[in-house]
Amino acid sequence: MKKIEVYDTTLRDGAQAEDISFSLEDKLRITEKLDELGVHFIEGGWPGSNPKDAAYFQEVKKLKLKTSRVAAFGSTRKKGVKAQNDGNIKTLLKADTGVITIFGKTWDFHVKEALHATLKENLDMITDSVSYLKKNVDNVFFDAEHFFDGYKNNPDYAIKCLKAAEAAGADIVVLCDTNGGTLPVEVEKIIKTVRKSVDIPVGMHAHNDTDCGVANTIIAIKAGAVHFQGTINGIGERCGNANLVSVIPNLQVKLGYKCIRDSELVKLRDASRFVNEISNLRHFKRQPFVGDSAFAHKGGIHVSAIRKRPETYEHIDPVLVGNSQRVLISDLAGQSNVLRKAEEFGIKIEKSSPKLHDIIDTLKELENMGFQFEGAEASFELLMKKALGLHKTFFNLVGFRVIVEKRKEREEPISEATIMVKVGGHTEHTAATGNGPVNALDNALRKALEKFYPELKDVELHDYKVRVLSAGAGTQARVRVLVESGDRKFKWGTVGVSENIIEASWQALVDSIEYKLLKDEE
């Protein structure tokens, strides 16, 4: 099994993505998570570019990393300045990492137009920078910026740049598709040519501007590269970088390369979600390998097949990457979906039971009305238990009223809910305010019930979504409300549908509370 080096640049290239800004603490936490994942190198940033990155290289020394080595990133020296006198080079050495990655121009167009240098001056900049750094640190990686564009424009000069880095002592030359415009067929051909021209290892750094970042990285490894760079979830400038979350399992599980340990591969989903959370990004449900929908099954025929042999509709075992199989409930569902969900819920029901058909008919009727249970499995579990006589009524609504009052033009509206419920032989009548009508209703319902069920004090409403179902109906449109609730142990989703948003919200809130009370009795 051929070993491949994994080089993560989430903290530097990933931080250049629009809408992403890592604090120093964010960078340190991500560093620890990447070390748990087992990547070989973590590019911490450019110490000469800003105070935060400079501080990172001081603070990261305090972390007890088990697997990863931290790399500092910067550029070759400036034109007309010796490496030992260059401020950027001095700052790289001051980071004291033991691994330094420097980028240099390999596209003659950039040399002339961006650096305003001659082609020879650029070669001298590469040679001097790499040579000086190599005398002071263990590993120097040379990122050949814009290499593929440079090679296509002037292959002889692009290769000369690589050979200059090699002769100066670089440990590896990393071919960068900086503009992300190169296609896999070009990458394969160019990598094979480069490997004949240099004797040191070759790496790949792909951007995703043609949506080929992952494919280009894989084809580069197949063509002989032994090192690849990318970011978690593919975050990065413009369209992003090669997504390590896809590259690693494709190479390791599909092609038999050794990127990280199998015990670390199972942490892939966790690492992906962690970086999203720190980046304040929503999780992409359909992200390959680690997304919630990556191994989710909805069609009845599919579910019937995976219950017998999961590989009928799953390209790998989801456990390998820390994910799990999910069966979705919808109007496409057949017996297999419902039976599988019953197993998950711990509900016993026979395939021959007429109640199974009743559940399927009810499900399809409700979804025709606009209910959706894919994000509201708690409501579906209650539906099943009601059909099977396993449900318990904890309270009965006598009535509720919600008032929204706006007293002055520049003041916020006031929302108040009054509610009356029966619990056993007791009637509870109470009221509460909130920062909106639904919040007021939720507060009033909790206030009325917590006297009888104090465990409801642990329940929090985490998310509230409204979807308009009947486009064109204006304010008379039917809406679907999805509510995500949770306590100290877990989270659950419930749903309600009505032309009245308060009624739809009420349905979802009641399901949420009943689900909590049922679970606590089990």
Within the chain, what is the greatest distance between any pair of CA atoms?
93
pLDDT reading at 471 higher than 70: no
Q: Which of 175, 166, 159 is nearest to 140 (CA)?
A: 166
pTM greater than 0.95: no
Could you give the CA distance from residue 373 to residue 369 in angstroms, rounded to a whole number?
12
Answer for the pair 9, 31: CB distance below 8 angstroms, yes or no.
no
User: Distance (Å, rounded) from C-alpha 192 to C-alpha 95?
Assistant: 35
Most confident range, picked from 101-105, 298-302, 348-352, 490-494: 101-105
Range in 226-230, 249-253, 328-332, 401-405 with the lowest mean pLDDT: 328-332
- HSE of 351, CA atoms in CB hemisphere, 13 A: 6
Q: d(Cα 297, Cα 302) in Å, to the nearest integer?
A: 7
What is d(CA 114, CA 149) in angstroms, rounded to the nearest whole number?
Answer: 15
Q: Span 313-326, mean pLDDT?
A: 91
Q: Grade residue 275 by pLDDT with cuts at 50, 70 and 90.
A: very high
- pLDDT at residue 350, rounded to an integer: 85
Q: What is the pLDDT of residue 333?
A: 60
Average per-residue pLDDT in the chain? 92
Report the pLDDT value the prediction gives residue 433, as an integer from 0 to 100.
95
Q: Which amino acid is at 344?
A: E
Mean pLDDT of 172-196: 98
Per-residue confidence (pLDDT) for residue 187, from 0 to 100: 98
Run of H or E residues at 447 = helix 437-449
Question: How many angstroms separate the CA atoms of 452 and 501, rounded?
Answer: 28
Q: What pLDDT score was predicted for residue 296?
A: 87
Class of domain 396-521 as given by CATH: alpha beta
Question: What pLDDT, on a 0 to 100 scale, did the predictor assign at position 222?
Answer: 98
Residue 273: the pLDDT is 87
Query: What average pLDDT score do residues 43-49 get?
Result: 90
Residues 355-379, mean pLDDT to the nearest whole number: 84
Q: What are phi and psi of 318, to 5 degrees?
A: -60, -25
Average pLDDT (258-275) is 94
Q: Given this model, what pLDDT does residue 277 score?
A: 81
Taking 70 as the threshold, does the pLDDT of residue 253 lie above it? yes
pLDDT computed for residue 473 by the predictor: 67
Q: In this model, does residue 202 exceed pLDDT 70?
A: yes
| pLDDT tops 70 at residue 147 | yes
Query: What sign does the CA torsion over 468, 473, 474, 478 have?
Result: negative
What pLDDT, in 10s, does the model give residues 1-11?
A: 799 999 999 99
Read off the pLDDT band of 334 (50, 70, 90): low
Q: What is the pLDDT of residue 330?
A: 63
Relative to beta strand 227-230, strand 296-297 is unpaired
pLDDT at res. 302: 82
Report whether pLDDT(303) > 80.
no
Give the model's pLDDT for residue 368: 82
Stretch(es) of the chain classified as CATH 3.20.20.70 = 5-260
Is the pLDDT confidence value at 215 over 90? yes
Query: Could you give the 3-state DSSP secondary structure of residue 31?
Result: helix
pLDDT at residue 59 tops 60: yes
Higher pLDDT, 407 or 99: 99
Any long-range contacts for 168-171 (C-beta under 8 Å, 24+ apart)?
168/126, 168/127, 168/128, 168/129, 168/130, 168/131, 168/134, 169/130, 169/131, 169/134, 169/140, 170/130, 170/134, 170/140, 170/141, 170/142, 170/200, 171/139, 171/140, 171/141, 171/200, 171/201
Average pLDDT value for residue range 425-435: 94
Give the mean model confidence (pLDDT) for residues 10-15. 97
Mean pLDDT of 212-228: 98
Band of the pLDDT at 351, cuts 50, 70, 90?
A: confident
Least confidently predicted of 94-103, 188-197, 288-297: 288-297
Q: How confident is the model at residue 331 (pLDDT cuts 50, 70, 90)?
A: low
CA angle 327, 279, 140 (to 5 degrees): 110
Cβ atoms of residues 147 and 207 within 8 Å: no
Protein fold of 5-260: TIM Barrel (3.20.20)
Residues 148-172: tens digit of each pLDDT: 999 999 999 999 999 999 999 999 9
Stretch(es) of the chain classified as CATH 3.30.160.270: 396-521
pLDDT at 332 over 60: no
